[in-house]
Copies of this chain bind each other. A is one copy, B any other.
């Protein structure tokens, strides 16, 4: 039998309520009794049942962490573990736990969140929102603090941390422009994912500022370079006479796939085609050529998000409703300057 508050109370010769207060250092309890209770509690290795505590206090020291498609699918990409790591860092410091939500084929993400929220288990929610979702519907209980990681479209009132993907896309493009590239392809666009939408905006902005006409056919939607339809489209584009000399690519794995495809066409990187990639993964780092890639600092993304969430849970005043985490362009070997 686990030791309960009653056991402590009995041995310390006080009532359960006194034990409860004594352990919280409530000033209504005399120093003497407080010491006695705490000693007994320590001796019995008493650890309050969080379930009971949470039931009445409606506070759980657990935050829900919702991965799109469940942890199952997300964990495949190093971005998510890195975010989780950031979250874990502050969770650990503040003695919070993380409850991972798991949507799957039978259980939509939305239902998974609902379950999480209504379960009463969590006192805050971290939403890794890759896609936009009607969050309002998700949260019958308006009082639950939510912080999103990733930009929630059209809802400025929400709390979130994010990368400024417009600027990131712009920066990637400018980096190539500065090296005299003019024919730049944008690879990995997907209207469902706001990261890519935003980066595309930045990409087009950069082109426009240099007065370069953009070619809509050079925004390629492939996320799965290995498969055929996009494969063929890309092959066609790169076999044409006015082929792109550079690519802004949404993800390192994608870039690596692209490089393989180009090699098959007799084109090499960076000699024939330059590539600026995103996410700065280990795979990209060790690739040959090592990828020049924008690091969006997922670790810090998680860290800030968790801090913000905790501020909200514990009612600390916070001014900003969102924070931007700076990105960093890591220069490696996949970009060459074009001759004059």
Which A residues are within 8 Å of any B CB, using their own CB?
A: 2, 45, 47, 49-52, 54-55, 60, 62, 70-72, 75-76, 78, 80-82, 84-85, 88-89, 91-93, 95-104, 106-107, 114-116, 118-121, 140-141, 253, 256, 281-288
Q: Are B62 and A51 in contact, with the CB atoms below 8 A?
A: no
Q: Among B98, B101, B103, B288, point to the contact of A102 (Cβ < 8 A).
A: B98
Q: Are A121 and B93 in contact, with the CB atoms below 8 A?
A: no
Q: Are B51 and A121 in contact, with the CB atoms below 8 A?
A: yes
Q: Are B97 and A92 in contact, with the CB atoms below 8 A?
A: no
Q: A75-B85, A81-B81, A100-B100 are in contact. Are A107 and B92 (CB under 8 A)?
A: yes
Q: Among B71, B72, B85, B288, point to the contact of A72 (Cβ < 8 A).
A: B85
Q: Are A107 and B119 in contact, with the CB atoms below 8 A?
A: no
Q: Once the chains are docked, how many angstroms separate the CA of A141 from the CA of B101?
A: 26
List the B side residues contacting A100 at CB < 8 Å.
88, 91, 97-100
List the B side residues contacting A89 at CB < 8 Å.
72, 104
Q: Are B50 and A120 in contact, with the CB atoms below 8 A?
A: yes
Q: Among B80, B98, B119, B288, point to the contact of A51 (Cβ < 8 A).
A: B119
List the B side residues contacting A62 at CB < 8 Å.
99, 121
List the B side residues contacting A102 at CB < 8 Å.
88, 91-92, 96-98
Q: Once the chains are docked, how many angstroms separate the CA of A78 from the CA of B93?
A: 23
Q: Which of A54, A106, A253 has the most CB of B within 10 A?
A: A54
